[in-house]
Structure 1
């Protein structure tokens, strides 16, 4: 059975969502940056925000965003390099005094957080699906071979059993931003961008039916199952990603009848 290359898809997601556009060194030794961080760059850590990085380095938020080709809402991703010095080496402009912001009140636990904390599958809720602004549908019918687990890098999506040749359908309207087999561990892979926040990915296909740049509608065939074998049939690996981070697809897909 094929194993999931989580870092591979992570980088692909970052690039597709318009990551750093400056001439930063390319990642080496894998999909995340490995080795010493070059002068003038910062290695983004989990939980960082562009505003925090700008404050630490004495750079204005918009200036830092401009050096890295970022646009609002200035999303950045762990494992990537961020330019924190001017491209020409000139002194960085000083940021203006930060504005006072009201204290943040912790939000109540969401169904998604509850599902991840307990490990118990939850019925899809209207909340996450409605908030996504996307009308989701199942990519195919079949029994679940694997569920999502937020703490397991090999379980960043769900796997659905089906017969070889079964058509894989687009889970929502969008544009194909990747169609190929270049990401190790995903086999023949389709990635569809639905809006500025959400992507869906379809791996382990024997045949791809759409090309990069194609516009697709929910329910349109985009691939055929038949590359990865499971004891109960062939598998589709399916992910939904929000701002580049994998989320539980079962919280977005409609209930099955």
Structure 2
């Protein structure tokens, strides 16, 4: 083979490699763009759920899009909502009370009209600092919170005072997840933590460090943060103060 032919062959190989890398880059997914509500929500099926180790009633309500009060009523569970591994919970089979149904309908209507539900304007704090790489969306399969980019090990703080009701990594796609209950109607969630610094049942103060930012359950370092009113996800940016400032209340 002549020298010219060899160089022509190497040029063709180089062009192919370059195109291959470009195509791979173009086809790579946006690791921040996570359709969380399309991810598997647990191992439950039908109208019942079998309690597993680490489950709490708040976690089960979260993954089944139910209200804690409805699950407690249907299954006759009293506060503090203790569960046993292997216990089978009914998710339906008993129609919600008119009060619960009306409450859910009113809540959905309020969110659709961008009217804050009662108590939504409480003193929420930013759970961490950083650029928002994906905003909230109320569309089907949309992002039901906000994704905040940062550095691995960056502190994560409780957005308001409350009680930790779940710490674990059972929900695929969320990595190490922390859920905090604020009163009876609100829950905040903090996903993809590198480390978790709180335990189930622990009372936390607003601004208390509860974990560190990581990439568990995803491919990039960021925090997925949600505020939920009963079973309805709210847009956190509507209730958080400007980044870098403290709540005015």
Q: Secondary structure at the match of 2:224?
A: strand
Is the CA contact (8 Å cut-off) linking 2:167 and 2:177 kept in structure 1? yes
Compared CA separation, residues 164 and 256, structure 1 to 2 (3 A): same
CA distance in 2, matches of 1:12, 1:182: 14
Q: Does 1:196 align with 2:184?
A: yes
CA distance in 1, matches of 2:189, 2:195: 15
User: Normalized against structure 1, the TM-score is what?
Assistant: 0.58
Partner of 2:231: 244
Q: Does 1:211 align with 2:199?
A: yes
- Structure 1 or 2: more helix by fraction: 2
Root mean square deviation, CA, Å: 3.5
Q: Does 1:223 align with 2:215?
A: no
Is the CA contact (8 Å cut-off) linking 1:159 and 1:235 kept in structure 2? yes
The CA deviation string for residues 4-23 of structure 1, in whole angstroms up to 9 with x for no partner, is 24745633774755623249
Partner of 2:120: 132
Structure 1 unmatched runs, 5+: 28-32, 52-72, 79-105, 116-126
Q: Which structure is larger by alpha-carbon Rg, 1 or 2? A: 2
The total of aligned residue pairs comes to: 176
Is the CA contact (8 Å cut-off) linking 2:160 and 2:207 kept in structure 1? yes
Alignment of 1:75-224 (within 5 A): 113=112, 128=116, 131-132=119-120, 134-224=122-212
Deviation at 1:220, TM superposition (A): 0.6
User: Normalized against structure 2, the TM-score is what?
Assistant: 0.59
Deviation at 1:196, TM superposition (A): 0.9
Partner of 2:82: none
Partner of 1:121: none
Partner of 1:50: 97
Runs of 4+ in structure 1 off by over 6 angstroms are 75-78
